[in-house]
Structure 1
Amino acid sequence: MRRFSAVAVPEAPTPAREAEARRPSQRPLKPSSVGRDVLSRVNAVAVLLVLADAVTLAAVCAHRGLGWGWSAAVVASAVTIRGAWRLYRRRLWLSWLQDLPRSAASTALAFALLSGIGLISGSDARELAAAQWAMIVFALVIEPVRWCVFAFGRWCRRKFDRCDRTIIVGAGEVGVNLAKTMLEHPQFGLRPVAFADSGPDPDRQPPLLEVVEGDLADAIVRLKAGTVVLAFSHTRDSPLVEAAITAHRLGCSTLVVPRMYELHPDGPGIERLRSYPLMRLGTAPTSRPTWWIKRAADLLLAAFALVVLSPVIGLCALAVLVESGRPLLFRQVRVGMDDRTFTLYKIRSVRQTGEDDSQSTWSVVGDSRVGPVGRFLRRTSLDELPQLWNVLRGDMCVVGPRPERPGFVREFSAIHELYWARHRVPTGLTGLAQVHGLRGDTSIADRSRYDNYYIANWSLWLDLRILLMTAGELCCRRNR
């Protein structure tokens, strides 16, 4: 049975190679290979909602005669809170009534915040009252405007086919019904272009839809798909996970039909396609604006640490020189994001014995080649400090899955499910697995689960937590 994520491998058909062959393609992605260009990613309805709020707020503030300071406070508080409450999100169901409670509650919260700031700062009572009245008038005016925006969005989707090209993973009854619903109701903004399944039912397949049985990534690029819907497939669940990861890597919106969807309630992150609930998966961490904040923080932290810790690195290098001579630094090929390899730098902690077997030999506790200096460097993690240079070069991040050697990546990917998925973000100096005691000769399956959990739940706050836990590990030597 062919899998939609199959990749041809011209090697001997051993069990390990067969498992490796079933992995989705992890080739580096070029900007031109992404399913949608930057302009087509912009959600027109979300942009119109932001503009409607900003223009209405500005008009109301001008009508109430507010100064620049209070006008800026009113606009900033309302737009920020309404954005935080996801009023400007991508959505399938353009329903004003469905969004009305969320809109009214966010405006009320902005009103309360503005009032609190005015009272605490001791602002003039007349100016505060004018700002409050501006917010009240905004609440009354904006809802008819939003209704018009939603109606205009539905009309454009129907009239001009302003819909995302969609691949449905799963050609069973649910997948076929979803495709029919999309075709009959274009106001939801999805236009099916293909199924992806290993064994579709031809009797239920709508006409003019292609069936993809090969590499899903190739199909997304070739068909210029912007959305992938994961429905029930004839295959087991793991290919659906692989399909979701592939869609994320290519920048597609990913929607999932939940199990027992007939009983699934609406809630945060739930879309509606007529009677079908669809869970919208979060975007890939590297595609979020906050990832640029992470990268900037990594550069500043790595540069500062290299300057401050340069005397420590020098002393460690001197100790290695005295114990076992040159070379002082150890270079090793590791696997980074999208299976790209890079040269990792460490202070050498193992005595040179002639042949270098570091690429194929797993380091274990009690290695006779590790002297007192090497054991101290490993125990304190001082041998990892030169990797700050890898962070500056862009090979790594401060926080992320730890990089591994190519040979072990191939071996672990063939044995441990979704180990390969760790490579959809850059590797790091420290990670969630490491602060939970998974260093050295410990469970690879547990490391993989922690790393994939980290990627699925990434946030700046999670990175900060891991850094604080790393500091605790280094100071208290817990989980060692």
Structure 2
Amino acid sequence: MIRKNEKFLTQIYALADFITIQLVFLLAWWLKFKSGFIPHEVPLPIGEYAIWSLVYGAIAVGIGFNITLYSPKRKKKFAEESIRIFQVHIISIFVLLSLLFFFKAVHISRTYLAIYFIGSVCFISIYRYLVKLGLKRLRKKGYNKQFILILGAGTLGRRFYANLKQHPELGFEVIGFLDDYTDQHENKYKNYKPIIGTIDELEETLQNVMIDEVIIALPLEAHLKFGKIISICEKSGVRTMIIPDFFDILPSKPHFDNFAGMPLINVRDIPLDEMSNRTLKRGFDILFSLTAILIIFPLLLIIAIAIKLTSDGPIIFKQERVGLNRRRFMMYKFRSMKNLGDKASNTEWTVENDPRRTKVGTFLRKTSLDELPQFFNVLFGHMSVVGPRPERPYFVEQFKEEVPKYMVKHHIRPGITGWAQSNGLRGDTSIEERIKHDIFYIENWTFLFDIKIIWRTVVKGFINKNAY
């Protein structure tokens, strides 16, 4: 039944996208040729534009099916869907332009096409976002549910159940557990769903109870049963998902590779390992840092003069940090401390009311203005605008032994700001929490994620109460 509903919803989405594209066509036509807002030449008949709009709608829907835009999205974030929408329409507009060239339809207005493309992406994204919000609210109220059976009532299965309970908007309800060790688990987990049978009763359970998905949460020693379990589920038309017993060591989004004809789990798949992503991020870094330096150049001069007039020593403080691939570099800051030896600055934390700070330095650190010279580090390729904050070699050696996965942060360039810092984890805050945020950023990087972090950094301001 659920499969039929999903197929029906897929068709509804495709039809809604097609209708939205045609409505955007009418809006784009009106804006370009009838509104008077945009100067225009004598237009071709609206019928000719309408034909190409129908062609574009068919192309977009066809490409959408090919790149899984219409696959079930209950478990996915809207950010992933919005990226798919943009991909569909960027491909579709290039296909349309190719067809216009091939059929010599050179008189179609390019301004109209730009409005049409932008409008299609925006309006489809907006209506899909509103639909997603509406579905979430319905699911919270108990509608549009899917039913889950968990195989394994041990720690793994119960942990998944507890996590799922925290997300009612997903609309999943656990029917119960199947486990071969009923007596051991029932008394231990009294506040959870019941164990309704053993693993061997799976086929009977699927016949008698409405189940949409089976979650295999069995320990590694039970892996010999997986083949039979999956076969039974597929015979019953039920989806199967496996939670690996070693999931704690996997990234948030495991990536599968094929090596020597065998599927392998890539333990640390990093989007920035791809050349296209690295090129996009580096290009943005250069453009952003150059723009920032030009805009704030008068401020840089004022700060430099203030430092020079109020304390002895250099204006710029250079300190060795560990960056990409554990390579060391000199990071630049405006000097905020009295002139100190290298040993003190490289191995000691600053503390509240630190007597080593200058008066100007106290203000610079509180407002994060001392970090501005790092835009030059970005230009030189040592750093990125967004990324994990770099640390001094002395503390890297210390943290890599004490903090799990600490060294993962060095797989990408360090940043002036990052996901941890935009969430308030700056200065004297938990290193463990910062690393969790850094790893999440590394594994889930997108260009839009960088923009979000920069925006959050600007909106939340640069005042740092934890900066000493």
Confirm or deny that 1:117 pairs with 2:24.
yes
Shift of the alpha carbon at 1:137?
Answer: 7.9
Confirm or deny that 1:441 pairs with 2:428.
yes
Confirm or deny that 1:174 pairs with 2:160.
no
Distance 1:141 1:353 in 2: 65
Secondary structure of 1:438 counterpart: coil
Confirm or deny that 1:411 pairs with 2:460.
no
Q: Is the 8 A contact 2:338 2:356 kept in 1?
A: yes
Q: Is the 8 A contact 2:420 2:438 kept in 1?
A: yes
Confirm or deny that 1:322 pairs with 2:229.
no
Shift of the alpha carbon at 1:320?
Answer: 2.3
Secondary structure of 1:358 counterpart: helix
User: Deviations 1:40-89 (Å, cap 9, x if unpaired)?
Assistant: xxxxxxxxxxxxxxxxxxxxxxxxxxxxxxxxxxxxxxxxxxxxxxxxxx
Which of 308, 318, 327 in structure 2 is aligned with 1:340?
A: 327
Q: Is the 8 A contact 1:107 1:139 kept in 2?
A: no
| C-alpha spacing 1:142/1:285, structure 2 compared with 1 (3 Å) | closer
Matched with 1:53 is none
Which of 252, 268, 272 in structure 2 is aligned with 1:286?
A: 272
Distance 1:116 1:475 in 2: 43
The alignment's TM-score, normalised by the length of structure 2, stands at 0.50
User: Deviations 1:245-286 (Å, cap 9, x if unpaired)?
Assistant: 9x87xxx6499xxxxxxxxxxxxxxxxx9xxxx999995231
Distance 2:287 2:57 in 1: 44
Distance 2:309 2:336 in 1: 12
Higher relative contact order (CA 8 A, sep 6+): 1
Confirm or deny that 1:372 pairs with 2:359.
yes
Distance 1:421 1:331 in 2: 25
| Residues 374-383 or 101-110, more deviating | 101-110
Structure 1 alignment gaps of length 5 or more: 1-96, 147-169, 182-229, 256-272
Q: Is the 8 A contact 1:437 1:479 kept in 2?
A: no
Secondary structure of 2:51 counterpart: helix
Distance 2:429 2:318 in 1: 23
Secondary structure of 2:461 counterpart: helix
Q: Is the 8 A contact 2:366 2:463 kept in 1?
A: no
Matched with 1:127 is 48
Distance 1:140 1:366 in 2: 62
Matched with 1:462 is 449
| C-alpha spacing 1:254/1:470, structure 2 compared with 1 (3 Å) | farther
Matched with 1:423 is 410
| C-alpha spacing 1:279/1:114, structure 2 compared with 1 (3 Å) | farther
Shift of the alpha carbon at 1:106?
Answer: 6.7
Distance 2:342 2:327 in 1: 26
Which of 371, 384, 395 in structure 2 is aligned with 1:384?
A: 371
Shift of the alpha carbon at 1:107?
Answer: 5.3
Shift of the alpha carbon at 1:130?
Answer: 3.1
Secondary structure of 1:333 counterpart: strand
| AA of the residue aligned to 1:284 | I
| AA of the residue aligned to 2:327 | R
Q: Is the 8 A contact 1:330 1:346 kept in 2?
A: yes
| Residues 124-133 or 321-330, more deviating | 124-133
| AA of the residue aligned to 2:19 | A
Which of 304, 308, 315 in structure 1 is aligned with 2:291?
A: 304
Distance 2:244 2:225 in 1: 10
| AA of the residue aligned to 1:337 | L
Q: Is the 8 A contact 1:349 1:383 kept in 2?
A: yes
Distance 1:376 1:390 in 2: 22
Shift of the alpha carbon at 1:385?
Answer: 1.1
| C-alpha spacing 1:358/1:115, structure 2 compared with 1 (3 Å) | same
Distance 2:309 2:396 in 1: 34
| C-alpha spacing 1:416/1:115, structure 2 compared with 1 (3 Å) | same
Q: Is the 8 A contact 1:303 1:392 kept in 2?
A: yes
| AA of the residue aligned to 2:272 | T
| AA of the residue aligned to 1:412 | F
Which of 389, 398, 415 in structure 1 is aligned with 2:385?
A: 398
The alignment's TM-score, normalised by the length of structure 1, stands at 0.49
Distance 2:56 2:306 in 1: 67
Matched with 2:91 is none
| C-alpha spacing 1:279/1:102, structure 2 compared with 1 (3 Å) | farther
- For the aligned residue pairs, the C-alpha RMSD in angstroms reads 4.6
| Residues 387-396 or 469-478, more deviating | 469-478
| C-alpha spacing 1:446/1:108, structure 2 compared with 1 (3 Å) | same
Shift of the alpha carbon at 1:355?
Answer: 5.3
Q: Is the 8 A contact 1:302 1:391 kept in 2?
A: yes
Aligned length: 285
Matched with 1:76 is none
Q: Is the 8 A contact 1:320 1:328 kept in 2?
A: yes
| C-alpha spacing 1:304/1:118, structure 2 compared with 1 (3 Å) | closer
Shift of the alpha carbon at 1:407?
Answer: 2.0
Q: Is the 8 A contact 2:324 2:410 kept in 1?
A: yes
User: Deviations 1:108-129 (Å, cap 9, x if unpaired)?
Assistant: 3553244123322157343255
Secondary structure of 2:344 counterpart: coil
Aligned pairs for 1:255-270 within 5 A:
none
Percent identity over the alignment is: 33
Shift of the alpha carbon at 1:470?
Answer: 1.8
